[in-house]
Chain A
């Protein structure tokens, strides 16, 4: 691990008691959901991590506790460092406090996560779906959401399958 980064991670650990993981030189710091806003503010103000490069999530279904990891990829332009915060969230009623007050970009990123994973961000100013239509049901990037496919039709069962095909008929 980079010397400068090690200091920052130790600082984070001292304050939030978080565990860390390292892979190919990247550092992942695990933070509890209730600590995330403080951790982000701390990194932004004390250690110049002014850019929230990416905010995403990963689903570990069927494991339910924790089911999701919400991932915050932070970049410091001044120090040229990166650190990743990961927030484990349980599967029943996943809830994380919103980071919109720390980084403006979190507004759209969190809307995308609500849309795709059904993770609720408490205190979000504009909780609407962003990419999918408002009447869409379900959250497609969850692992228990099936990837759509088309049933192959043959001459002997063409009409039978045609009846239950979801496309608009005349």
Chain B
């Protein structure tokens, strides 16, 4: 049995201002079970009246030891853990991990698989932004926004289910390609979504973008300048709302992103409203990418035929002795990776999702580190909430779009 100790202020002296020690300001606990912390985030607030003097995040309530667990699994089997990181961006996490494995063992991916990967991750980005826009509205008392956004998100989850049989934890993208080809209904489902979705974005914008109540809550709140953002490792839409044009899809194209025509929305104000605008525009840009990728979706295989790394298709196992051996070897022993390390990063809906992957010559990774964007984005929270009201803290927290699974790993 673990003992319950009483915590004294001495342990937190260096985190709060001197006024807290004399009792001039109040210390208040927020979370971990608080609906507007988007999961299990705990904040230690130091308040002067209703003004925030310090907001100290306390994280780790959702820590699952994913990095340690991955070291005990083969490269193929470790992939299922990545879905559980950032549960709003599951295919994106799979893609980041698969790209890292492919870079480590030097594996090529067929063109069709690349295009399908792009379609799925961009759809997932839209789904993630929809959850964000819904909960953002909910936090600011625009309840109907939540219902509308989740209605459209359901369409995307249906498409993912159509492909993989799973709505969220898909593990559809595999090292060397995809689990299997998409079904014939896939194209129609995506086209239906592309057709109906632009009108929906217009509806959201009609509800929120120029809504005076909404503007009152957001304009000038939680200002983040570019220098602080970079020093705190902030990436993704939060960084782009502070005027830094940095998107890994443009800067270091992977999976053929260079062939698609899309813009990177940037805003310069760096406040909560700018972050809102950037994300809403990203919805439209992602939809553009999905449409282009679908229009020139090439035919062909969806996984690499390098049998030393990629399991053979099911149909071959019954007729080919070699295929059966490969299947057996890959799923029991796994493939060896060189004794070296690589770092590869993709643009997730929240920012730079990097994977540091190190092999030791055997079939299991020596070390996997997931550089998750929410972790760094949250670290700036104390700086941008100081001087604002408690009610604004809710808006700021929602605007940097944290996912606790992504932070705690």
Contact = CB atoms under 8 A, between A and B. Distances in A.
Interface string A85-117: 000000000000000000111011100000010
Contact of A23 (B2, B244, B252, B342): B342
A111 B38 CA distance: 23
A73 B371 contact: yes
Contacts of B15: 126
B63 A58 contact: no
B97 interface: no
A120 interface: no
Interface string A64-87: 000000010100010010101000
A135 B2 contact: yes
Given A51-B230, A54-B354, A77-B244, A82 B340 contact: no
A145 to B, nearest CB: 8
Contacts of B342: 23-24, 26
Contact of B60 (A23, A107, A132): A132
B244 A54 contact: no
B232 A104 contact: yes
Nearest to A21: B340
A80 B358 CA distance: 23
A164 to B, nearest CB: 15
B232 A126 contact: no
B123 to A, nearest CB: 26
Contacts of A26: 342-343
A82 to B, nearest CB: 7
A131 B59 contact: yes
A71 B231 contact: no
A23 B341 contact: yes
Interface string A52-70: 1110101100000000000
Contact of B371 (A53, A103, A168): A53
A156 B68 CA distance: 33
A131 B343 contact: no
B103 interface: yes
Interface in A11-66: 23-24, 26, 28, 50-54, 56, 58-59
Interface of A: 23-24, 26, 28, 50-54, 56, 58-59, 71, 73, 77, 80, 82, 84, 103-105, 107-109, 116, 125-126, 128-133, 135, 140-141, 145, 147, 168
List 6 A-B pairs, minimum CB-CB distance, nearest first: A105-B233, A131-B60, A54-B371, A56-B369, A104-B231, A58-B367
11 contacts: A24-B342, A26-B342, A28-B341, A58-B341, A73-B356, A73-B371, A80-B252, A105-B376, A135-B5, A145-B68, A147-B68
